[in-house]
Amino acid sequence: MQQKKQRKKMHVKLGDEVKIISGSDKGKTGTIIKVFKNQGKIIVKDINMKTKHKRPEQENQTGQIIKIEAPIDSSNVMLYDSKINLASRYKKIRNTNGRTKRVLIKLKQN
């Protein structure tokens, strides 16, 4: 019997602004451009850049060295608010019309 792959629960979504909390890029911020839910990994724009050496495909072309973003684990990032420079976990608050909204925990609630 074949087992299904478990999806890792993600606390971030596509387009979220995040702050890196561990690794070589610790302290940097960026926007999520791709999410891999099955592996629990994300790609953040201009973070975790790796070099890729590309061979020439035809005789008259030259090779290239390309910088690309590599995936990082979603546990290494926190949601970030650039307006007040704050990274925090979040909680869900339900509006009067029944929709939920994510709010950072460290924000002062008035």
Question: CATH number of the domain at 17-104, out of 2.30.30.30, 3.10.20.30, 3.50.50.60, 3.40.50.1370?
Answer: 2.30.30.30
Residue 84 buriedness (CB in 10 A; 0-12 / 13-18 / 19+): exposed
Question: In the chain, where are the structural domains located?
Answer: 17-104
Q: Which amino acid is at 81?
A: D
pLDDT recorded at residue 87? 94
Q: Which amino acid is at 42?
A: I
List, for residues 65-105, the tens digit of each pLDDT value. Answer: 999 999 999 999 999 999 999 999 999 999 889 899 999 99
Residue 51 buriedness (CB in 10 A; 0-12 / 13-18 / 19+): exposed
pLDDT recorded at residue 74? 94
pTM of the predicted structure, to 2 decimals: 0.82
Instruction: Report residue 99 as tokens.
Output: 């929709």
Instruction: Report residue 96 as tokens.
Output: 């009067």
List, for residues 14-53, the tens digit of each pLDDT value. Answer: 999 999 999 999 999 999 999 999 999 999 999 999 999 9
Residues 6+ apart with CB under 8 A from 96: none
